[in-house]
Structure 1
Amino acid sequence: MIEFKMAFPVNGDLSRVRLSSGPGYSFHYDFFNAWDEPTLKALVDHCVVGGLQCNARGYDETHPEAGAALNEDYELP
């Protein structure tokens, strides 16, 4: 799961909030997948499928026994 939380300072009647995309509920992100496939697979398998909340190397501090998906020397191809 990827979750983004953003705060917008708004005063007044929130039902009248409008974005360039339309009403306030129309807010959305676009996603362009540019991941290196083996790196993405390693992170998804280890972190998402493994139920971990990982940092950028695929390490969950609350579950050190699980290790990291990518070692300290890992560099993108």
Structure 2
Amino acid sequence: MRTARREAAAWSVVALDLRVLTSDSSWSVSLMHEPKQQQDEHGTEIIVRELRDAGWTVQPQRLRQKLGDV
């Protein structure tokens, strides 16, 4: 996910590993910054991928509980 206000110089970027998020009792994410290509860019972008990896199933209740903390 990345997000930025119009006046910010860079995007704030985080990546969530849903396997870790649903399996561990505690978790943390690193906040990174990505320079904007154009200064007036703004908004929030969320990219979801790899939800159907072989051997891994989403645990909807646990995922909902954890994402409620984000």
TM-score scaled by length of structure 1 = 0.25
Greater CA radius of gyration, 1 or 2? 1
Query: Normalized per residue, which structure has more helix?
Result: 1
Query: Normalized per residue, which structure has more strand?
Result: 2
